[in-house]
Amino acid sequence: MGVTYGYVRVSSCDQNEARQMIAMDERGVDRKHIYMDKQSGKDFNRPEYQRLLRKLRPGDVLIIKSIDRLGRNYDEILEQWRHIVKDKDCDIIVLDMPLLDTTKQDAGGLMGKVIADIVLQLLSYVAQTEREFIRQRQAEGIAAYRAAGHRWGRPPIQRDADYLECYRLWRDGKLSGTKAGERLGISRNTFLKYARVERDNGGDFNYGTTET
């Protein structure tokens, strides 16, 4: 009989993990066997998750509240799932999705694993299709916006007398990029982006050392 582990994840330190912990308690998971990360689910480079992986042995069971607690990228979830179920010979139970339960057995002992694998592949396909639709809609929206005569992105800053004065002071090392941005009502990085282009294109100036 293997050990039953729980994995809990919240996206940030100010989010509450209570709902997931209650679900673990209801399933009888020992608190000392629960691993928790307070971190984004964008990838699997999470310290507690990696500790859990190292702890898993054949016959162990991993319980999670919902599939998105494991991660957000279904392709990576599928890869991790196969690693745990096939390479480590462990079971996984997703409480909010009963079909994702590899402990369910038929006469051949395969039903739970086969069904879970099929469901995960479908979820991965749907997620990938949705990502492609989103990219397509974004591209079509940008194209339509430009076709209507609009400019995509932030408008260029006004190179008026105030800008030229700030630029010259910055160029001569008498004004920092931060102070120049404050005077012009723009960010330091925006000012430096334009000022450096001006400087690099103006070969007849003696720029000296500038404060950035």
Strand partners, 63: 6, 93
Coil, strand, or helix at residue 174? coil
- Out of 20-24, 92-96, 177-181, pick the least confident: 177-181
Q: Is the pLDDT of residue 190 over 70?
A: yes
Q: How many CB atoms lie within 10 A of CB 9?
A: 24
First-to-final CA distance of the chain: 63
Q: Which residues contact 26 (CB under 8 A, 6 or more apart)?
A: none
Asked if residue 63 lies in contact with residue 24, where contact means CB atoms within 8 angstroms, the answer is yes
Distance of CA 165 to the CA centre of its chain: 42
- Domain 4-126: assigned CATH number: 3.40.50.1390
Arithmetic mean of pLDDT, 51-78? 90
Between 199 and 171, the more confident residue is 171
Residue type, 195: A
For tokens 């006004």, name the residue.
Answer: 158
Distance, in Å, from the CA atom of 48 to the CA atom of 45, rounded to the nearest integer, reads 9
| Tens-digit pLDDT profile for residues 109-159 | 556 677 877 887 777 777 667 667 777 877 777 777 677 766 655 556 666
Domain chopping of the chain, boundaries? 4-126, 154-212
Q: Which residues contact 208 (CB under 8 A, 6 or more apart)?
A: 171, 172, 173
**Residue 20 CA neighbour count, 13 Å, CB half:** 24
Q: Which residues contact 171 (CB under 8 A, 6 or more apart)?
A: 195, 198, 199, 205, 207, 208, 210
Q: What is the DSSP letter of 59?
A: T
For tokens 């030229």, name the residue.
Answer: 164
Distance, in Å, from the CA atom of 8 to the CA atom of 19, rounded to the nearest integer, reads 10
pLDDT computed for residue 205 by the predictor? 38
Q: Considering Cα of 94, then 46, then 80, then 125, what sign does the dihedral take?
A: positive
212: confidence class by pLDDT, cuts 50, 70, 90: very low
- Which of 186, 183, 155 lies closest to 168 in space, CA to CA? 183
